[in-house]
Chain A
Amino acid sequence: MIHIEKIKQTIACSISMVLATLFLFAATTKLLNYREFSLQLAQPSILRGYTDIVAWMVPVAELVVSVLLFFKTFRLQALFASFGLIVLFTTYILLILNFSDVVPCSCVGVIPALGWTDHILFNIALLALAALGIFYSKNMASE
Chain B
Amino acid sequence: MKTKFFKFVLPALAIVMALGLAFASEAETESRIAYYDHPILGVQSTMVENECGTGNAIACKFNGHQLYAEPALTNELRKD
Tell me the A residues contacting B by CB distance below 8 Å: 10, 13, 17, 20-22, 24-25, 28-29, 32-33, 35-36, 39-40, 43, 66, 70, 102, 104-105, 107-108, 112
Q: With both chains docked as a complex, state the minimum distance between the C-beta of A57 and any C-beta of chain B, in angstroms.
A: 18
The 8 closest A-B CB pairs, nearest first, are A28-B22, A24-B18, A25-B18, A21-B14, A105-B49, A29-B22, A70-B11, A21-B18
Known: A36-B29, A36-B32, A112-B28. A43 touches B22 (CB 8 A): no
The B contact surface, by secondary structure, is helix
- Would you give 6 A-B contacts (Cβ < 8 Å), ordered by A? A24-B15, A28-B22, A40-B47, A102-B62, A105-B48, A112-B29
The CA of A32 and the CA of B45, in the complex, are separated in Å by: 18
Contacts of A17 in B (CB 8 A): 10-11, 14
> Shortest Cβ distance from A114 into chain B, in angstroms?
12
* Contact, CB under 8 Å: A29 / B26: yes
CB-based nearest B residue for A9:
B6
Which residues of chain B in 9-62 are interfacial with respect to chain A, using CB atoms and an 8 Å cutoff? 10-11, 14-15, 17-19, 21-23, 25-26, 28-29, 32-33, 45-50, 62
- Give complex CA distance A24, B22 in Å: 9
A125 to chain B, nearest CB (A): 18
Interface residues of A, dominant DSSP = helix
Q: Judge whether B23 and A39 touch: CB under 8 Å.
A: no
A28 touches B19 (CB 8 A): yes
Contacts of B33 in A (CB 8 A): 35-36, 39
- Cβ of A107: which chain B residues have Cβ within 8 Å of it? 29, 32, 47, 49-50
Closest to A13 in B: B6
* Residues of the A chain whose Cβ atoms lie less than 8 Å from the Cβ of B74: none
> CA A43 – CA B18 in complex, angstroms?
27
13 additional A-B pairs beyond A17-B10, A20-B14, A25-B18, beta carbons within 8 Å, are: A13-B6, A20-B18, A25-B17, A25-B21, A25-B22, A36-B29, A36-B33, A39-B33, A39-B45, A70-B11, A102-B63, A105-B49, A112-B28
